[in-house]
A and B are shown apart, each in its own frame.
Chain A
Amino acid sequence: MIIKRTKSHIAEIFCNVLCVFVITVVSVNAQKLNDDFFSPKSRLSFGNYLFLEKDYLRASNEYKEFLKTDNNDTVRFKLSESFLRIGRYEEAANNFKSLFFSTSLTDEARLGLFKSLFFEKNFVRFRQYRLEENYTTEKFSHDIDRLNYISYFFDSEPLPDSSRLFSAFADLNRADIKKFYYMKKNPDTKNPVTAALLSAAIPGLGKIYTGEIGDGITSLITTGLLVFLSANNFRHDHNFRGWLFAGFAALAYGGNIYGSAASAQIYNAGVKFNFDNEVKLFFEKHNYFLPEFDFVNR
């Protein structure tokens, strides 16, 4: 009887120990239950996955939810970077600004702000902030200077001093930069007034000047023919027809002068279009010579 009781007692003790064990396991599991797909930790790892997949809008939503409960400089930086990459520059700039003081990424955030302004093409503010102490960073001052020089290739402000501009780039790229600099400084454009004056002197000459040889010759023939028809009709006393053709000749003459000026402008737009594309492709290829941060791609 005693032995039996002891057996049952041992079983009960064993059961109680097991009970404590299972409750511990279950409570750990219960912790896991809370740690579900929407917990801050899960949101962060899912957000990081989306970021690497370039699904930046979704990633930014996950980061925003994470930051509601936790504060993390890297996550806020990645949130700003997500906005930057999807072209929401203002939100990117504001989030970068929130990392300016007492954080581990103060320099990176300052560079981030300049990147936001650069890609927004807000070059006025870019240049203004570059001179303000609150926004500058020793660590990336060269990168920001370089970005500032690059910005001159994308707007119509006068180009800065060539030697300082060239020295901002590595020797390897300097030849290309020099080429772009002189292309920007002395573009191969045509003057619309010259084109118009040339066409006023000889119909079609302005068009030939802008490279439209076919249009120029056609203008010359058309205007010449209409003048001839007009003169011929006047000579044969067909005054109505004479005036009619004279009117047409005047239209062709005037239209050609106007068209020559327009043609020069289109030619110039073409020069600018090709230059802009070439410059954009070059800098995109080199990622605007900006440093890459490993922690962003983790």
Chain B
Amino acid sequence: MKKFFLIIFFSAIVSSAQTDWVKWNAVQVSYEMKNNNELEQSVGFWASLQSAYKFLISDHDGDNCPFYPSCSQFYVEAVNNSGFVKGTLMFADRFTRDLNFFKGWKHYPVHCKTGKFFDPPYNYNLNPRSIQFLSAENSSE
């Protein structure tokens, strides 16, 4: 925990000194309020199936999945990126992990925008290089 705060402390110092280390331009900040519900969507055939699932079922049965991306989004992304067989195995594993009652106990990092457990499919494609490790005390963008 001490180390974690040290990292945060050092990065805060560095980031404040870094403001002008790269030339920047004027930025117009929108007055409009952000709509947290509009999360990024995948594209492709599976995404359209997911959209149909979302439109017909998921939008009406409440917010049930404690993960981000949700189980259905996870499945679509996994199949899109790793193929049907591997994606299905990844989904089966995710679904089983979802059934674990104690999953929130010091395990997953929290996704900032949604406040859910951050569990992206790229951590599960058996390619060690694609894993982006975040500790449970940490949180993601």
Residues of A within 8 A of B (CB): 54-58, 86-87, 192, 212, 214-215, 217-219, 222, 251-252, 254-256, 258-259, 261-262, 265-266, 268-270, 272-274, 277-278, 281, 284
A-B contact pairs, 21 of them (CB 8 A): A54-B17, A56-B21, A57-B20, A214-B100, A214-B102, A214-B105, A218-B100, A251-B89, A255-B94, A256-B92, A256-B93, A258-B86, A258-B93, A259-B89, A259-B92, A259-B124, A262-B123, A262-B126, A265-B128, A266-B131, A284-B10
Q: Which residue in chain A gives the minimum CB-CB distance to B19?
A: A55
Q: Which residues of A contact B135 (CB under 8 A)?
A: 270, 273-274
Indicate which residue in A54, A86, A262, A273 contacts B93 across the interface (CB closer than 8 Å). Answer: A262
Q: Which residues of A contact B99 (CB under 8 A)?
A: 218, 222
Inter-chain CA distance A192–B128, complex, in Å, is: 11
Q: Report yes or no: A215 in contact with B95, Cβ–Cβ below 8 A.
A: no
Contact residues on B (Cβ < 8 Å of other chain), bracket: 35 or more
- B90 close to A (CB within 8 Å): yes
Q: Report yes or no: A57 in contact with B126, Cβ–Cβ below 8 A.
A: no
Convert B31-59 into 0s and 1s, putting 1 for each residue whose CB lies closer than 8 angstroms to a CB of A: 00000000000000000000000000000
Inter-chain CA distance A276–B65, complex, in Å, is: 33
Q: Which residues of B contact A219 (CB under 8 A)?
A: 96
Q: Which residue in chain A gives the minimum CB-CB distance to B125?
A: A262
Q: Which residues of A contact B92 (CB under 8 A)?
A: 251-252, 254-256, 258-259
Q: Report yes or no: A277 in contact with B131, Cβ–Cβ below 8 A.
A: no
Indicate which residue in B18, B96, B97, B126 contacts A261 across the interface (CB closer than 8 Å). Answer: B126
Q: Closest CB of chain A to B20's CB: distance in Å?
A: 6
Inter-chain CA distance A192–B8, complex, in Å, is: 32
Q: Which residues of A contact B100 (CB under 8 A)?
A: 214-215, 217-218
Inter-chain CA distance A67–B101, complex, in Å, is: 66
Q: Report yes or no: B89 in contact with A255, Cβ–Cβ below 8 A.
A: yes
Q: Closest CB of chain A to B84's CB: distance in Å?
A: 13
Interface of B is mostly: helix
Convert B93-132 into 0s and 1s, putting 1 for each residue whose CB lies closer than 8 angstroms to a CB of A: 1111101111101010000000000000001111010010
Q: Report yes or no: A215 in contact with B128, Cβ–Cβ below 8 A.
A: no
Inter-chain CA distance A270–B106, complex, in Å, is: 14
Q: Given A262-B126, A278-B3, is A255 in contact with B91 using a C-beta cutoff of 8 Å?
A: yes
Inter-chain CA distance A222–B91, complex, in Å, is: 15
Q: Report yes or no: A256 in contact with B96, Cβ–Cβ below 8 A.
A: yes
Inter-chain CA distance A288–B86, complex, in Å, is: 44
Interface of A is mostly: helix
Q: Report yes or no: B126 in contact with A265, Cβ–Cβ below 8 A.
A: yes
Q: Which residue in chain B gives the minimum CB-CB distance to A284?
A: B10
Q: Report yes or no: B131 in contact with A265, Cβ–Cβ below 8 A.
A: yes
Q: Report yes or no: A254 in contact with B89, Cβ–Cβ below 8 A.
A: yes
Q: Report yes or no: A57 in contact with B23, Cβ–Cβ below 8 A.
A: yes
Q: Report yes or no: A218 in contact with B23, Cβ–Cβ below 8 A.
A: no
Q: Report yes or no: A277 in contact with B3, Cβ–Cβ below 8 A.
A: yes
- B1 close to A (CB within 8 Å): no
Q: Report yes or no: B128 in contact with A259, Cβ–Cβ below 8 A.
A: no
> 7 closest Cβ contacts across the A-B interface?
A255-B92, A259-B93, A214-B102, A218-B100, A255-B93, A258-B89, A269-B133
Q: Report yes or no: A281 in contact with B131, Cβ–Cβ below 8 A.
A: no
Q: Report yes or no: A255 in contact with B95, Cβ–Cβ below 8 A.
A: yes
Q: Which residues of A contact B20 (CB under 8 A)?
A: 55, 57-58
Q: Closest CB of chain A to B117's CB: distance in Å?
A: 13
Q: Given A55-B20, A252-B92, is A218 in contact with B123 using a C-beta cutoff of 8 Å?
A: no
Q: Which residues of B contact A256 (CB under 8 A)?
A: 92-93, 96
Q: Which residue in chain A gives the minimum CB-CB distance to B103?
A: A214
Q: Report yes or no: A269 in contact with B131, Cβ–Cβ below 8 A.
A: yes
- B7 close to A (CB within 8 Å): yes
Q: Closest CB of chain A to B92's CB: distance in Å?
A: 3
Q: Which residues of B contact A87 (CB under 8 A)?
A: 21
Inter-chain CA distance A217–B96, complex, in Å, is: 10
Inter-chain CA distance A157–B133, complex, in Å, is: 21
- B29 close to A (CB within 8 Å): no
